[in-house]
Structure 1
Amino acid sequence: MHRLALSVLLAAILVGPAAAEQDLLLGADMTSPAMTQAEMSRADIEAMIAAAHGKPIDLHDKSLSGLDLSGLDLRGANLRTARLNTANLRGADLTGANLQQAWFLKADLSGAKLADAAMFGITARDANFSGADLSRSMPIGDFKGANMRGATLVDLRGGADIRNQSMGLMRAVFTSVNLSGANLKGADLGRSRLEFANLTDADLTDVVLMGSDLSGANLTGATVAGADFKNVDVSGTRLIGLKGEDRARDWAARVNIDRAITQAAH
């Protein structure tokens, strides 16, 4: 069953429109044991970690939903296609982990270390990444509704690569994501979906936003010095109290500038 769900997920990421995203929920049985139950216990995984003597453990394609894995050392772990829906990964170390095509629906990764993690095809809708470190990770997947408040996303590699798009546009989906106060210095979010994202007081210094969709997003108080706004859709976007606006790149090349909100309502 879960392989069908994975194929639907990839279709949603590749195609992008809302209809494809809805198909993700329609095409996968989210109530099945593969999506809601765990085939291993925390003790089982702790034993694997101990036996590995510091080497990465292999949990690919495992059903781990609902498990308490908080604080575990999962550096470099292979979690490709694993299901960790609603799992507790608070403070876990997933540095350099392979999370490609893994499921993290409503999982708690607050304060987790995810630097350099591979996330192609991941789905982490409504997951909690508050205070987490995703520096240099590659989140080409679906994070719709996730909480990334105060997260570190320095040098994030979430931009779409148009040089190899034979299957469609693969991009980061950050629709309605809470990125308030997040550090995104140097991140690549070119051609990403950021509709209705909360970016209040976020640090967007030198961020590549070229061709992304920021419609309805809130950038109040955000730092935008050096950020690339070429062909960025700002329809309904709140651009109030920005810091470093005079140093933003291609500021005049935004799309739907006349529809942006530049003054606070009185």
Structure 2
Amino acid sequence: MDFHFLLDPAGFSLSEGWLAVGLKSPYWTVLLAGLLNTLKVALPALLLATVLGTLIGLGRRSDHPLIRLVADSYVGLFRNIPLLILLLAVYFLIIQGLPVASQAWSFHGWIYLSKSGLAIPDLWSGQWPRQGYFSVEGGWVLSPEYCAVLLALVLYTAAFIAEVVRAGVQSVPRGLVQAGLALGFGRLQLNRLVVLPVALRAIVPALGNQYLNLLKNASLGVAVGYPELVSVSNTAMNQSGQVIQCVVLILIIYALLSILASALMGRWNRAVNRGSA
């Protein structure tokens, strides 16, 4: 199997990404840019989904009926919607529901939200977004495609993480909870100092599966035109005609990403369970 085509000029560029590529960039550079775009959306989604899922999972164990109802409804809704349908719904909601750039929603003049995407200050280079007639210029602009993939991954994965957190919290021995209450801990103190540290031993292994699913689900960005690895590889197949080679590369890259993620989660799991026997 010949992979020498990776050194040939790709003949196409990407609309966005951390790595700038042009028409003369070789295929390997363009594929690397697609991989970076995958990580660009997957890593923030992982963090946000963990935070949201943890809050919802704790909300399902709340004593307040309204909080418990909202949390239960969230999980019941997003666990039963296919991710692809959710992604398309979010994307078309952004395209149809947001104003054009000339009428972009502004938050204190430093964040703009419109059909052009989400524009935020680029603190690294010191550039701030400016509202134009056709687009918002300057700063760091997150495209509508990126925002749709990010939001869909967060909403979908958070529902499953919430179930993992709820089950982990439920596995904590009731005696520990009663001991914390006897010491005068409030609800927040009890969750932070007693419940979550113990529940992590049950949460982390199952959480690793959700992280792996999120990483692989990022490939659905191809459905809305976000230039992640699979989308870029599809274009590379059409341009080069090297279909088998491109598919093999996708398989190898996702396998390596999964192995790396599993190794990191395994290390976290050992750290959490160290000393417990």
TM-score using structure 1 length: 0.25
TM-score using structure 2 length: 0.24
Q: Which has the higher strand share?
A: 2
Q: Which has the higher helix share?
A: 2
